[in-house]
A and B are shown apart, each in its own frame.
Chain A
């Protein structure tokens, strides 16, 4: 893992259009049964424009930033050795179907500990107006050869 990656920012990801069926599919996968995830009328009754994505849905949008990191020739990250260390989401508002989202990722820290590397990445996810929706912070542990 290249320590010089610390502080590196990547270009915004191409817009991700949040589909209603994708929200429903993700909600079923995480056993999220609230009608707000499935029924647009129920979501509108609570003041949302369309079905509301479950709290961990931003991981789907963040995925494109992980691909940027893995594709970086300077990165030296071997995906088969990657273990998820921790994850955080800080929301300005929930994601709803119809949102067009882009993520801009910065590598905030690269550390070595006990033969492993730990890389922490922060992504700012904004909507089509450029307004903040959610910040994601992921730490990945890249296991050493030991």
Chain B
């Protein structure tokens, strides 16, 4: 049970680094039913003008919210709204994978709860824009 009173705008509520590998992409493809081959075949990715295999945007979105769920004590049912814009691709190296860092900060507070803003970076650049999670007060 994470109360929202006492929070301040700008406060960091979670911060984590995730490593995504080609294995992660294959697992996500199966779980999500998104079998677009740009997420597992370099030749096809390069054939459509990409530098190589990319993470599914929805995988990045799915992982990026986890620090917020952790902060809520694991109760993702307190999330009322979650949105992102996909601004830059996450290129996943066959050997080294990709390191994605998430910082979750209080963006706004009002009677309806809190807006948590996510800063999601890969290789020093942000990959999601307007990444916002609306969180309800405890039930």
Contact A30 B85 (CB under 8 A): no
In the complex, which residues of chain B have a beta carbon less than 8 angstroms from the beta carbon of A56? 58, 61-62, 65, 82
Contact B76 A54 (CB under 8 A): yes
Stretch from B4-12, B30-38, B117-125 forming part of the interface with A: B30-38
Tally chain B residues at the interface, Cβ within 8 Å: 35
Contact A32 B77 (CB under 8 A): no
B13 within 8 A of A: no
If A86-B84, A88-B82 touch, whether A29 touches B31 (CB-CB below 8 Å) is yes
Contact A34 B76 (CB under 8 A): yes
Q: Cα distance A2–B104 when bound, in Å?
A: 39
Contact A55 B65 (CB under 8 A): yes
Contact A29 B30 (CB under 8 A): yes
Q: What is the interface residue range for chain A against chain B?
A: 35 or more
B109 within 8 A of A: no
Interface of A: prevailing SS: mixed
Tell me the minimal C-beta distance from A51 to chain B in angstroms.
Answer: 11
B interface footprint on A7-44 (CB within 8 Å = 1, 0 otherwise): 00000000000000010011011111111110000000
In the complex, which residues of chain A have a beta carbon less than 8 angstroms from the beta carbon of B83? 86-89, 137
Tell me the minimal C-beta distance from B88 to chain A in angstroms.
Answer: 12
If A29-B28, A84-B86 touch, whether A34 touches B81 (CB-CB below 8 Å) is no
Q: List 15 A-B contacts (CB under 8 A).
A: A22-B31, A28-B31, A29-B24, A29-B62, A35-B74, A36-B76, A54-B76, A55-B65, A84-B86, A86-B84, A86-B85, A89-B82, A90-B80, A91-B79, A91-B81
List chain B positions with a Cβ less than 8 A from chain A: 18, 24, 27-28, 30-34, 36, 48, 57-59, 61-63, 65-66, 69-70, 74-77, 79-86, 130, 139
